[in-house]
Amino acid sequence: MPSMYDIYENHAVEYDELVDREDCRGELAAFMRGFVGRGERVLEAGTGTGRVTALYAARAASVLCCDRSAHMLERARSRLAAHGDRIAFRVLDNLALAGAADSGPFDLVVEGWSFGHTVSDFPGREDETTDALVAACRACLAPGGRLLFLETLGTNTSGPVAPAPFLDAFYRRLEDEHGFRRTVLRTDYRFPSLAEARRVTGFFFGDRMAASIEAAEVPEWTGAWTLA
Ligand SMILES: C[S@@+](CC[C@H](N)C(=O)[O-])C[C@H]1O[C@@H](n2cnc3c(N)ncnc32)[C@H](O)[C@@H]1O
């Protein structure tokens, strides 16, 4: 099984086999419709292959899609081709996101399942890393701008819980120190078969997760942290 970062550098197609099966009842899509206003200028960190971007791109005035992986952004470019005139791409590390301010200001900074990785990169420094990420986002915002962070609250679990202590520390810091509000979304995966559910989740999450999957529909919990 490849590491997460190996997947992001080399396996964007396989990554999409997973995320394109997520949110089978459209809760995240509905949330994004309600959150991103028509004509807003959006900065998205950790865009990956653009599956979150695709949920709101038609309404945005412009989107700057950033990611550390040029490989993932290349796939995002083809997914988002229909909106090509309003979308730009930049290879940029999350911790250097303040550098995107030169293309701003932005009404909204969005990230999905990416800042959690950055927090995990600095074990024992969860608070400092969270503060640095929030500060980088704020540096890019127009007055009155908003932040939206989407992160996991568990895969194949019966309820929404931060799946690792570093994520729990990250989420608590967002809420307790920075005033973010948490909304819980149910974003289950639906695969064509149990075998496919096991194959695809196993590639991304590992053999132990694959062995724990018991149905073609796999529970997934997502937290949406917002700061107005
Ligand atoms: C789980 S994927 C999420 C992608 C996309 N937002 C989505 O929801 O499908 C994590 C993404 O974060 C990117 N990433 C991880 N660490 C990063 C960092 N330090 N700076 C920028 N991007 C990073 C990876 O390259 C990958 O595209």
Mean pLDDT lowest among 84-88, 150-154, 189-193 = 84-88
- Beta bridge partners of residue 221, listed in sequence order: 186
- Give 97-110 pLDDT, tens digit per residue: 999 999 999 999 99
Look at the pTM and tell me if it is higher than 0.85: yes
Instruction: Identify the pLDDT of residue 18.
Output: 95
Between these two residues, 84 and 63, which has the higher pLDDT value?
Answer: 63
Query: Is the pLDDT score of 1 beyond 90?
Result: no
Between 12-19 and 70-79, two packed helices, what is the crossing angle to 10 degrees? Answer: 60
Does the beta carbon of 112 lie inside 6 Å of ligand 1? yes
Mutate to test the pocket of ligand 1, among 11, 91, 94, 117 (most ligand atoms within 8 A of CB): 117
All domains in the chain, ordered by first residue: 4-227 (3.40.50.150)
Does the beta carbon of 136 lie inside 6 Å of ligand 1? no
Does the beta carbon of 113 lie inside 6 Å of ligand 1? yes
Task: Give the full edge-to-edge strand order of the sheet including 220-227.
Answer: 87-91, 62-67, 41-45, 106-112, 141-155, 220-227, 181-186
Beta strands in the chain (DSSP E): 41-45, 62-67, 87-91, 106-112, 141-155, 181-186, 189-190, 217-218, 220-227
